[in-house]
Amino acid sequence: FDAGRVQQVLEGVLAGALGTTVYSPQGSAPLTQSLAELLRSRAKEVVPPRYKLVCHVLLGQWGQQSLLVASRALWDPRSDSFASATFSNASLFAVATVHGVYFE
């Protein structure tokens, strides 16, 4: 699992898909779901086939708030890893994380 390469994929997809998108509360759920599916499929292209991928996307309205995103997982640090990327524009922010778990 090449976390650096997966992070580049995440950054590129987020920037391409959300470049000038305006936040909409009604449209955020389907947008988040389609982003997660797109990110997982693009990450699969650069990750060895023995890895199972878990993709998590957080999307919100950009304002005066602060946000901390954390995750925990039970895995083997020798073979499992993750990559994360953030994106923001004048209207919204997005945090995408892909966990790669080696499957024997």
In the chain the domains, ranked by start, together with CATH numbers, are: 3-102 (3.30.1140.40)
What is the dihedral sign for C-alpha 74, 77, 79, 80? Answer: positive
Three-state SS sequence of 35-65:
HHHHHHHHHHCCCCCCEEEEEEEEEEECCCC
Q: What confidence score (pLDDT) does residue 53 get?
A: 95
Would the pLDDT of 75 be above 90?
no
Would the pLDDT of 84 be above 90?
yes
pTM of this structure: 0.88
Q: pLDDT (tens digit, 9 = 90+) per residue, 28-70?
A: 999 999 999 999 999 999 999 999 999 999 999 988 778 888 8
What is the dihedral sign for C-alpha 93, 56, 44, 3? Answer: positive
Mean pLDDT for the chain overall: 92
